[in-house]
Structure 1
Amino acid sequence: MAIVVGYAIAVLGAVLAYQFGEGKSKKRKYRIWGFALMVSISPALSFAIGLTYAAIVGSGWASMIMWILFPIGFIVGLVMLFVGIFKKEATEEDL
């Protein structure tokens, strides 16, 4: 049951990020998706994947893979957030 909750939270975070980013500028979308990845998607997805892998392998220690997956997802989200914050908006002169 906990595995399903983890996947559900990750999907819900992705759906909400999509809804909040719809119709926004590219810079704003980067910020929304970076925040969503760091706060909801990465922790829930790493937890669910870790438990799924542990159930498949049959060892509780195998769930420690979430200690590897979470920082990777968090750093990807942090980079996306920083891109959204520090990216320069394209003007008509640049095009």
Structure 2
Amino acid sequence: MVQSTSNWSCGVASVMDIFGGKWKLNILWRISQHEGLGFNQLKREVEGITNIMLTRAIKTLVAENLIIRKELKVTPPRTEYYLTASAKSLLPIMAALNEWGKDNL
């Protein structure tokens, strides 16, 4: 997990080190709504994201143990992304943010 040397004791700063930017929480939320999304499905779900930004965000989320990448043994080969238990523990927080956004923005 990414740790800022000056803010390591501040949970909010640590969370923002990972989730800063507009894509990662959105990606986690979309995967939570459609467990087992492939790259192209995820790109369609996350409006406006480019292939490069999606690839970078996925790599970060995998490295932070928030999503897992499963390669399916089908023809043609297919990869799907799933939330880890750690990411699932964020779902109540993301649901609250979703409701707050609907009500206030």
Q: Under TM normalisation by the shorter chain, which class is it? A: under 0.3
TM-score, structure 2 as length reference = 0.25
Look at both structures and tell me which one has the larger radius of gyration over its CA atoms. 1
Q: Name the structure where helix makes up a greater proportion of residues.
A: 1
Structure with bigger RCO (C-alpha 8 Å, 6+ apart): 1
Q: Name the structure where strand makes up a greater proportion of residues.
A: 2
